[in-house]
Amino acid sequence: MPARRCLVTGAGRGIGAAVARRLSAEGHAVALVARTAAELEAVAAQLPGPSLVVPADLTNPGAADAAAGRVEREWGGPVEVLVLNAGVAVSAPLARTTDEDWARMLEVNLTAPFRLLRRVLPGMAEAGWGRVVAVASVAARRGDPYVAAYTASKHGLLGLVRSAAAEVAGRGVTVNAVCPGYVDTPMTDRTVAGISATTGRTPEQARDALARKQPIGRLVTPEEVADVVLLCVANAAVTGQGINVDGGAVQS
């Protein structure tokens, strides 16, 4: 595959950083987007190929246009591979889920991907080649207790992916989602800390409990998620899919 212009959101740590490393190792140019510039700089320093550090809060309505425009100006053409990975999670019983938490889940996990997709998809369709991969969750495939807002946002993201895929299927552009289970990242570290604080279990016990929820008996690695993102980039016939990377937790 020729070198492509890629943009990865949430590339400062966890899954997004692993995806950026894999794309760069394959010879692609990678623009890294997140709020924390220092984390983006640290990831960029590890990449073998060209990279762009684009600090941005994607809940800002102008951020999608600014980030896509930066790639176009610096690299002389539109984004060809878009990885919509930035996300946040909150856990609370539905009756104690605040308006603020609900709005934040939808803003970061659904509205921000929508704005970037809206900005980038026409250029891909015009060029006759493009790849979009959203990092959703098993929470896009089923409902668990205490994650109503997160689950609603991730179900919405999978719906967005399916509709967009149908719209551009004849134009050389694929749009897919990967749906991870519990992955060993800073987000899961925060989940572990939350379980530990509310249940009195040690962090090790809390982490073990999450690992045991997955039939493989361990957390998924960020690299295992990145592998499936790369498969979606390489393959032209898989589109409109949500691919579970969850150690066998959801069979679909």
Determine the Cα angle at 184 with ends 181 and 189, to 5°.
105
Q: What is each CA distance from 72 to 6, 75, 76, 99, 126, in whole angstroms?
A: 11, 6, 5, 37, 15
Report if residue 51 touches ligand NAP, rule: CB under 6 A: no
Which residue shows structure tokens 């959703």? 136
Q: Does 58 engage in binding with ligand NAP (CB under 6 A)?
A: yes
Catalytic hit among 19, 22, 124, 150 = 150
> Is 250 among the residues that bind ligand NAP (CB under 6 A)?
no
Which positions from 87 to 126 touch ligand NAP by CB under 6 A, shown as an x/- string? xxx------------------x------------------
DSSP 199: H
Residue whose tokens read 């060029």: 127
Instruction: Tell me which residues in 160-189 interact with ligand NAP (CB under 6 A).
Output: 180, 182-183, 185-188
The label of the residue with tokens 């589109």 reads 239
Instruction: For residue 244, state whether it binds ligand NAP (rule: CB under 6 A).
Output: no
Q: Given candidates 5, 22, 23, 39, which one binds ligand NAP under the rule CB under 6 A?
A: 39
Between CA 175 and CA 127, with CA 125 as vertex, the angle to 5 degrees is 120
Judged by the rule CB under 6 A, the positions of this chain that interact with ligand NAP are: 9-10, 12-16, 34-36, 39, 57-59, 85-89, 108, 135, 137, 180, 182-183, 185-188
List residues with catalytic annotation: 150
